[in-house]
Structure 1
Amino acid sequence: MNQEKINFNAGPAALPATVLQQAANAVLKYKNTGISILELPHRGPEFLEIIEESKALVKELCEIGDDYDVLWLQGGGRMQFSMIPMNFLSTGDTAGYIDSGHWAAEAMEYGAYYGQIQVMGSSRATHYNHLPEWPSDIPNHLKYLHITTNNTIYGTQYSDIPKVNVPLIADMSSDIFSRKWDYNRYDLIYAAAQKNLGTPGVALVIVKKDMLSRISNHLPPMLNYKAQVHENSILNTANVSGVYISLLMLRWIKEKGIANIEADNNNKAEILYKAIDESKLFTGYVQNPAHRSKMNICFTAKDKETELAFLELCAENNIIGLQGHRSTGGFRVSIYNSIEVASVRTLVELMKKFETNS
């Protein structure tokens, strides 16, 4: 029998054991329907209950009111890279983007298909090893400012976002619900689910109703936020099982509590960064503590041979998912909400053992 593994993958990420068990039960039979969640009709009353409970939980956890709408859409983060400029940019309009990492840059590239892009800050020149300086002057003519709150590939994260004078849009795919946060500052938030919120194939969108009135482009309904709101995210056949697993995750987050989740995330990050900073073999990619991510911790070893040897040791000890992104190499330890403090301690103990024997 295979031993259970510690899964530090960046996405699809580890899910809590209780969520996995509930999902497994629902795959066999969902409640008293006599059918699997995989067979549940997307326009039936059972799925409507799932949608409504999930929307209510999102609003409760974000501490936002009825001036926001909640959507569950398909297509992942890249679809949102497209939909945002489709809905809010017209020819001749300009949007601001902060280029803080790979996905921020890709969102910017998608935006350029539909309007003018003004780069409001970038750390590309230093391979994103720090956050760009926050813009001191944001032009009022910008249709929106787009930011990525956590950068998974390079391991940077904003600890705070200043208030801005234009609509603020945030990609929170990898750190939503990971800490106490003022979600009311944002006009649109989106998050691909496969980090802290569920499984691939569904994306959460939280949009201020006022933003819907800013949609001026003539778009097919599937790509129009206003039409998706009108149809309650069921304009087409919805990803029923994906939304259900996200609901299970939302219940889990509420039960554990955002404050407790944040405390655990801080603890995990502190333990791992301390081990890296004290090591003679490993070096953190992001040196500025204020810019370091508490979700994705990226580091390298002194040479490629050492990296391969440590990965092999981890595999022998049932620890997986540490390989850095294909564009950067090295290591990336993703310590999302469902990762336990004990799992990080196990990894650190193995790092110290490896260093002692090297």
Structure 2
Amino acid sequence: MSRVYNFCSGPAALPEAVLKKAQAEMLDWHGAGVSVMEMSHRSTEFMSILASAKARLMRLLDISDDYEVLFVQGGASTLFAQIPANLTNGFDSACYLDTGAWSTKAIKEAKKYTKVNVVASSKEQNYTTVPAFADLELDESAAYLHVCPNETIGGLEFADLPETNLPIIADLSSTILSRKIDVSKYGMIYAGAQKNVGPAGVVICIIRKDLLARCSDSLPTVWNFANLAANDSMINTPPTFAIYLADLVFEWLEEQGGVEAIEAVNIAKAKVLYDFIDASDFYANPIDPAYRSRMNVPFTLADASLESLFLEESEAAGLRTLAGHRSVGGMRASIYNAMPMAGIEALIQFMREFENRHAQGK
């Protein structure tokens, strides 16, 4: 069977060149005689992989020495709790901006550790837009401001950040390495790998070094950011194969011309798909055009009763995992870095043909 176009929101498609390189190195990594999955995480071989991954990521995002780069386990959902546990020590509260499902989950976990000040929410607008930053009710004495600049489920994304003296903590799981960002504007960035970086199992954390002083010794050892930094992410056995694949993805990104080059591709992909949806009476996107995600494109059909048929036929056409999240329904095309323009064109061709066959009056 030939490979399909995989529009899954995560675990998502990986670059084919990366998969082929991993396949070629599966049994014998660089003459070591073993797979990366088999080698000791303390070995010279794996230490070189870890060092390479960190160095490539720092180059790609232009990360200064003011930050530590960590590779941690547990998924971004674990970080929802781990962040307030580490960074609210000595503070009475933390600020959270609520822009969708993942913001809501982060808020729920943070409330177990500190008082949460929800500075604004677009819940009443069904998370189709972003609250005006000028109206945020920020408490400048709080520990930090948490934001989720891309809500994967809702397909909402924003690039600007609120003006504040608080450290900004950002869940960039869906956007990391897809667009240029100024890391210096953030106190901490965290991102689950399984969208733009690699397979599930590792979370990238980029944390400003001064924030590590907040981490309390009362925390579990493997949860303490300061301990993780001091031990180069290896308090215990890290997700070695996931880090290795992340390094291959970083290498692939460098070969594409870096983040600036891949961002140009992502802009073009998203524009083609949104333009098609907007020109159709059969398909619709519910998000405020100013905040449409480049990575996750939800859309609905004019006749919702056709959704099951759309998914059945698209799957048969080699267009995989187009169902929207179970909490919102509809359709969703996740078009991360590894999705080529050819995949977008194939999706649009299918959507056009489906509309021609099922639109009323045609």
TM-score category (smaller protein): over 0.9
Counterpart in 2 of 1:276? 277
Contact kept? 2:120, 2:136, Cα under 8 Å: no
CA distance in 2, matches of 1:259, 1:159: 15
CA distance in 1, matches of 2:171, 2:25: 30
Counterpart in 2 of 1:252? 252
Question: What do the CA deviations read for 1:131-164 (whole angstroms, capped 9, x no partner)?
Answer: 2222445221110000001000000001222442
Counterpart in 2 of 1:340? 340
Contact kept? 1:301, 1:307, Cα under 8 Å: yes
1:297 partner amino acid: V
- Superposed counterparts of 1:274-313, under 5 Å: 274-286=275-287, 288-313=288-313
- Superposed counterparts of 1:59-208, under 5 Å: 59-90=58-89, 93-134=92-133, 135-136=135-136, 138-208=138-208
- Quick check: 128-137 or 221-230, which moved more? 128-137
Counterpart in 2 of 1:212? 212
Contact kept? 1:7, 1:14, Cα under 8 Å: yes
- Quick check: 81-90 or 223-232, which moved more? 81-90
2:262 partner amino acid: I
CA distance in 2, matches of 1:92, 1:347: 49
CA distance in 1, matches of 2:26, 2:101: 35
CA distance in 1, matches of 2:303, 2:217: 52
CA distance in 1, matches of 2:125, 2:353: 32
CA distance in 1, matches of 2:89, 2:48: 37
SS at match of 2:68: strand
CA distance in 1, matches of 2:244, 2:163: 34
Contact kept? 2:298, 2:333, Cα under 8 Å: yes
The answer on 1:265 being equivalent to 2:266 is yes
CA RMSD of aligned residues (A): 1.3
- Superposed counterparts of 1:44-55, under 5 Å: 44-55=43-54
Counterpart in 1 of 2:31? 32
1:340 partner amino acid: P
Q: Deviation at 1:206?
A: 0.4
Q: Deviation at 1:92?
A: 6.4
CA distance in 2, matches of 1:250, 1:164: 31
SS at match of 2:26: helix
1:140 partner amino acid: E
Question: What do the CA deviations read for 1:296-326 (whole angstroms, capped 9, x no partner)?
Answer: 0011112332212221221121110110001
2:71 partner amino acid: W
Contact kept? 1:87, 1:217, Cα under 8 Å: no
SS at match of 2:309: helix
Q: Deviation at 1:27?
A: 2.0
Report runs of 4+ in structure 1 exceeding 6 Å deviation: none
CA distance in 2, matches of 1:192, 1:14: 14
Q: Deviation at 1:216?
A: 4.0
- Quick check: 271-280 or 308-317, which moved more? 308-317
CA distance in 2, matches of 1:91, 1:217: 13
- Quick check: 325-334 or 303-312, which moved more? 303-312
Identity of aligned residues (%): 39
TM-score (normalised: structure 2): 0.95
Q: Deviation at 1:356?
A: 1.2
